[in-house]
Structure 1
Amino acid sequence: MSESVSLQPLDQFALNDRLANYGDGVFTTMHVSEGRVGLLSRHVSRLVNDAAALGITVTATAIEEVIRTAMQQQQYGVLKILLGSGQGGRGYSRPGQAAVSLAVSWHAVPALYETWRQQGIALAVSPVTLAHQPLLAGLKHANRLEQVLVKRAMQTMDCDDCVVTDANATVIEASAANLFWFKKGVWFTPDLSKAGVNGVMRQFILEHTEHVEVGEYHLRNLYDADAVMLSNALMQIVPVHSLVNAHSSEIHEYSLAPVKALQQSLAGAYKQECIRA
């Protein structure tokens, strides 16, 4: 596929746009403050690498230029970039000469995230489970119907966010964030080789944190944890103060202290990865 990139507003998709019709593309959402983009290089790499996994070729240089252009509009907020496979015919197959397209939008940072980072949040377990698809696992692809169903189910639940599992009750992630928990001096996080999104904040935490184990874990591991936290590029690191047991309705309560300590220990490294485009 061509490396040429065309910038198009989100409200002007063509009727045959493959991103709108099939979710044939990838995206990322970046936290921007004082003209600096949090985890900028990781976001660029995500778009390049996730697009390549879908057979879409785009260069880091092209994406960086799009970000620089967008930064001329404002210096604070959430910058979202959608990268798609261009326009095509009625069917699923891509046309041979389709051009890569990029769509950019600005949004407000959710105000509640700051409160969440300080006070923690309550979790429940989503009744919606994730399917296994190793070819898409880890990618931030634009076909997110599973997450739409998770968020819809949350509307009837008394919680701030949900733990999402696969059909085998293996823990995968939260509704729009990655999941970590702490037990006896060790952090744990789910393996995402079958389902889930490998978030840029998750990558950052894994790179800068000692004693983290990645593997397949059951809900019982969460119930038995000393501390639990969520992470993504916008909320960064958010502690969890409680989780409702999916089977007994028992409320498991967690210490915020290990999460607060990790927030503080990573603050300097995070600041170093907040870069002007």
Structure 2
Amino acid sequence: MFLINGTEQQYLAVNDRAMQFGDGCFTTARIIDGQIQFASAHLRRLQLACERLFIPFTDWQLLAQEMASLSQGRKDGVVKAIITRGAGGRGYSAANCVTPTRIVSVAAKPAHYARWQQEGVTLALSEIRLGRNPALAGIKHLNRLEQVLIRAGLEQTTADEALVLDSDGWVIECCAANIFWRQGNNVYTPRLDQAGVDGIMRQYCLRQLASSSFDVVEVNARQDALEQADEVIICNALMPVVPVRQWAEQHWAARDLYHFLAPLCEHIN
């Protein structure tokens, strides 16, 4: 089901900036027993993205109400909210765009995440690298062609997810998840000030680790850092946390970090 500016429909104007330029942002949240997990954090994410993209969206209470309304009565699912700059004239200038478009939709939660949690996942190194751009780093904007290409490459392998580097060769994330790795008591996750998405679950995991017995650090690291790791996990708002069992010739059986975070990431509002 889709709501576009509060009306149930599935058609967007061809001159909407999302269609023309991918000009907008989005967030995807998990529904548990009719409630949106991390609802306020997802709205803050959209607010930050709109500020960074100079999109003058102000109907935050209305958007929250629409997201909540579509989530009611669903035991487990996904709600997605998109904000575009709205309809405008030809060309890159946003001077004539005064009314942003809001889109809300719901869907079933991906069924394979439960199996991933039990079995762990395998990673394949992506040949596609993320461009470095601090103006867009961290936010979830609508320009997802890099992820589309990463996913296309992943589907040519037998792996479950992709290990993604940026154009300078630093480990950044997976195709649709953030990544953490543990070496002893130290937990590492990539810095995302130049590329990648600062996911809601990543932010939550960082807060939980900061008050734990683990020492957590955001780093610039090459892929060989994973070769030294005792454990690797990936996360996003829907998974929410999944262990990695293999990447290339590396195999991981340890689950210390996973067993610490997994119970903390369920049934949170």
In structure 2, the residue matched to 1:156 is: 156
Instruction: Tell me if structure 2 keeps the 8 A contact 1:8–1:103.
Output: no
Q: Render the CA deviation track for 1:249-277: whole Å, top value 9, x for unaligned.
A: xx10113422332234524xx53x32xxx
> 1:170 and 1:57, CA in 2 relative to 1: closer, same or farther beyond 3 A?
same
2-structure distance, mates of 1:80, 1:265: 24
Please identify, of 139-148 and 97-106, the stretch whose mean Cα deviation from structure 2 is larger: 97-106
Cα root mean square deviation, aligned: 1.8
Unaligned runs of 5+ in 2: none
Of residues 255, 258, 261, the one that matches 1:257 is: 255
Unaligned runs of 5+ in 1: 245-250
1-structure distance, mates of 2:9, 2:76: 19
State the aligned residue count: 261
In structure 1, the residue matched to 2:11 is: 12
Q: Render the CA deviation track for 1:173-226: whole Å, top value 9, x for unaligned.
A: 000110100001111000000000000000111111132100100001011110
In structure 1, the residue matched to 2:219 is: 215
Instruction: Tell me if structure 2 keeps the 8 A contact 1:33–1:76.
Output: yes
Larger relative contact order (CA 8 Å, sep ≥ 6) = 1
2-structure distance, mates of 1:81, 1:75: 19
Is 1:105 matched up with 2:105? yes
Paired-residue identity, %: 34
2-structure distance, mates of 1:24, 1:207: 31
Is 1:232 matched up with 2:236? yes
- 1:105 is displaced (CA, Å) by 1.5
The 5-angstrom pairing of residues 63-212 of structure 1 reads 63-72=63-72, 74-210=74-210, 211-212=215-216
Instruction: Tell me if structure 2 keeps the 8 A contact 1:130–1:167.
Output: yes
2-structure distance, mates of 1:171, 1:134: 16
In structure 2, the residue matched to 1:21 is: 20
Give the residue type in structure 1 aligned to 2:207. Answer: E
2-structure distance, mates of 1:188, 1:200: 17
1-structure distance, mates of 2:260, 2:231: 11
